[in-house]
Amino acid sequence: MKELLHAVRISGLGYRYHDGTEALRGLDLVVHAGEKVCLAGPNGAGKSTLLLHMTGIIKGEGDVLVGGDVPKGAPSVFGLVFQDPEDQLFCPTVGDDVAFGPRNMKLPEIEVDRRVASALLAVGLEGFQSRSAHHLSGGEKKRAAIAAVLACEPEILALDEPWANLDVRSSRAVTDILRGHKGTFIVASQDLHRAAEVCERLVIIDGGAIVADGPMKELLADEELLEAHGLEFRKKCAKCEATKGDKKACA
Ligand SMILES: Nc1ncnc2c1ncn2[C@@H]1O[C@H](COP(=O)(O)OP(=O)(O)OP(=O)(O)O)[C@@H](O)[C@H]1O
Ligand SMILES: [Mg+2]
């Protein structure tokens, strides 16, 4: 595995969709190898658009380098779990969807089988191999999409809203996958409680630009900043475990 000093280096990135919507405005971001980063911000801030640039699927003005090179969509370098799993699952069966990346990487079939089994196990979808992705529940689709990316074992793992739509058990499974991921990862999420469990750095995006970037713990303590950008993080009460501000909380 080649060493990635700067997993991601983006400068002056601007992007306008075909209908004229300006999604990113001169955004700069460096993610170092091994960093665990959360991108947060209100709906429409530009988080998904930013992640799509890292895959090379869309290209705006400015410079984007991923793993030291322009993004070429190599699944072993950068793997993105899309916000909408429908964008990721297109094969007749879940097994084929999860095997798609490793097969594309021309891995031997025995290694493809190993990766598919291991990725499905990681997301709790063992036994789903011959099911049609179209007939899965929303949460199961999300887990299948995560498995499809895990099977490529990317050096940089990116997940767009990984906890959205998942039940508690599946959310914990995703958290555990991220905890166990040795390399760099970037998650776009509104769920700061889940993100705080696995990310050390928080980057807040609003209006297509970065408005705050720093250690997760420090930024979470800044209620005004979070409020200003449509985010919320309420600490759990040490005594009763309820979220402070809830009626249940003892203080
Ligand atoms: N395909 C598209 N065509 C036109 N505009 C788009 C398209 N996709 C996104 N946009 C617009 O670009 C802006 C950024 O959208 P983006 O999906 O990146 O936001 P986001 O931060 O991921 O939001 P969310 O929290 O809702 O996922 C928004 O104003 C959105 O309406
Ligand atoms: Mg999004």
Q: Tens of pLDDT along 99-123?
A: 999 999 999 999 999 999 999 999 9
Measured from the CA of 208, which atom of ligand 1 is nearest? 14
Residue 235 confidence (pLDDT) above 80: no
| 3-state secondary structure at position 187 | strand
| pLDDT score, position 74 | 87
Measured from the CA of 49, which atom of ligand 1 is nearest? 18
Residues 6 or more apart in contact with residue 5 via CB below 8 angstroms: 32, 33, 68
Mean pLDDT over 62-66 rounds to: 95
Residues 180, 31 contacting (CB under 8 angstroms): no
Does the C-beta of 224 come closer than 6 Å to ligand 1? Answer: no
| pLDDT score, position 165 | 84
pLDDT one-digit tens code per residue, 179-209 = 988 889 999 999 999 999 999 999 999 999 9
- 7 CA distance to ligand 2 middle (Å): 21
- 135 CA distance to ligand 2 middle (Å): 24
Both tokens of residue 46? 């530009």
Residue 69 confidence (pLDDT) above 90: no
The candidate with the shortest Cα–Cα distance to 6, out of 47, 61, 45, 63, is: 63
Does the C-beta of 130 come closer than 6 Å to ligand 1? Answer: no
Please tell me the number of the ligand nearest to residue 39's CA: 1
- 124 CA distance to ligand 1 middle (Å): 30
- 160 CA distance to ligand 2 middle (Å): 7
Residue nearest to atom 16 of ligand 1 (CA): 46
The mean pLDDT value of the chain amounts to: 91
Q: At residue 196, what are phi and psi to the nearest 5 degrees? A: -65, -20
231 burial type by CB count under 10 A (0-12 exposed, 13-18 middle, 19+ buried): buried
Residue type, 23: A
Residue 249 confidence (pLDDT) above 70: no
| pLDDT score, position 53 | 97
Residue nearest to atom 27 of ligand 1 (CA): 43
Does the C-beta of 46 come closer than 6 Å to ligand 1? Answer: yes
Residue 83 confidence (pLDDT) above 80: yes
Does the C-beta of 45 come closer than 6 Å to ligand 1? Answer: yes
Please tell me the number of the ligand nearest to residue 82's CA: 2
Please tell me the number of the ligand nearest to residue 46's CA: 1
Both tokens of residue 88? 């990721």
| 3-state secondary structure at position 6 | strand
| pLDDT score, position 3 | 53
Q: CA 247, CA 234: separation in Å to the nearest integer?
A: 13
Mean pLDDT over 15-21 rounds to: 97
Question: Which of 21, 203, 210 to mutate for ligand 1's pocket (most ligand atoms within 8 Å of CB)?
Answer: 21
Look at the pTM and tell me if it is higher than 0.75: yes
1 burial type by CB count under 10 A (0-12 exposed, 13-18 middle, 19+ buried): exposed
Does the C-beta of 21 come closer than 6 Å to ligand 1? Answer: yes
Does the C-beta of 44 come closer than 6 Å to ligand 1? Answer: yes
Counting other chains too, the contacts that 85-93 makes at CB distance below 8 Å and 24 or more residues apart are: 85/133, 85/138, 85/141, 85/142, 85/144, 85/145, 86/141, 88/145, 88/148, 88/149, 89/133, 89/134, 89/141, 89/144, 89/145, 89/148, 91/133, 92/132, 93/129, 93/130, 93/131, 93/132, 93/133
Q: Which CATH architecture has domain 1-77+155-251?
A: 3-Layer(aba) Sandwich (3.40)
| pLDDT score, position 119 | 95
Sorted by where each begins, the domain ranges of the chain are: 1-77+155-251, 79-153
Residue 40 confidence (pLDDT) above 70: yes
Does the C-beta of 27 come closer than 6 Å to ligand 1? Answer: no
- DSSP state for residue 69 in the 8-state scheme: B
Q: CA 15, CA 172: separation in Å to the nearest integer?
A: 34
Q: CA 151, CA 109: separation in Å to the nearest integer?
A: 13
